[in-house]
Amino acid sequence: MLPAKSTKPSTLITESNCIHSDFLLGLGPHGFHRLHYTEWGSRNNPNVIFCVHGLTRNSRDFDRVASKLAGRYRVICPDMPGRGLSDWLVHCSDYNLTLYMADIVALLARSGVEKIDWLGTSMGGLIGLLIAAQPNSPIKRLLLNDIGPCISERSRHRIMEYLGRDPRFPNLASLEDYIRRIHAPFGPLSDAQWHHLAKHSAKKIDNGYALHYDPGIADGFKNLASATTSLWPVWDALKCPVKVFRGSNSDLLSATTAAEMANRGPKAEITEFPGIGHAPALMSEDQITAVIEWFNP
Specify whether the CB–CB gap between 1 and 89 falls below 8 A.
Answer: yes
> Pick the residue with more confidence: 156 or 131?
131
> 225: cis peptide before it, omega within 30°?
no
Q: How many residues does the chain have?
A: 297
228-254 core/surface letters (b: 16 or more CB in 10 A; e: else): beebeebbebbebbbbbbbbeebbbbb
Choice among 21-35, 221-235, 240-254 with the minimum mean pLDDT: 221-235
Cα distances (Å, whole numbers) of residue 188 to 104, 184, 240: 32, 8, 32
CB atoms within 10 A of CB 175: 23
pLDDT tier at 2, thresholds 50, 70, 90? very low
pLDDT tier at 228, thresholds 50, 70, 90? low
CA distance 153 to 127: 20
What is the rounded (10 degree) CA torsion for 164, 167, 172, 174?
A: -120
Q: What integer is the mean pLDDT of 206-227?
A: 83
φ, ψ (nearest 5 deg) of residue 295:
-85, -10
Mean pLDDT of the chain: 91
SS3 206: coil
pLDDT-above-90 percentage for the chain: 82
Q: What integer is the mean pLDDT of 124-132?
A: 97
pLDDT at position 16, please? Answer: 37
CA distance 126 to 98: 11
Strand partners, 118: 50, 142
Q: What is the CATH number of domain 19-295?
A: 3.40.50.1820
pLDDT tier at 230, thresholds 50, 70, 90? confident
φ, ψ (nearest 5 deg) of residue 76:
-115, 125
Q: What integer is the mean pLDDT of 268-275?
A: 98
CA distance 96 to 101: 9
pLDDT at position 9, please? Answer: 44
pTM for this prediction? 0.91
**Which amino acid would we find at residue 285?**
E
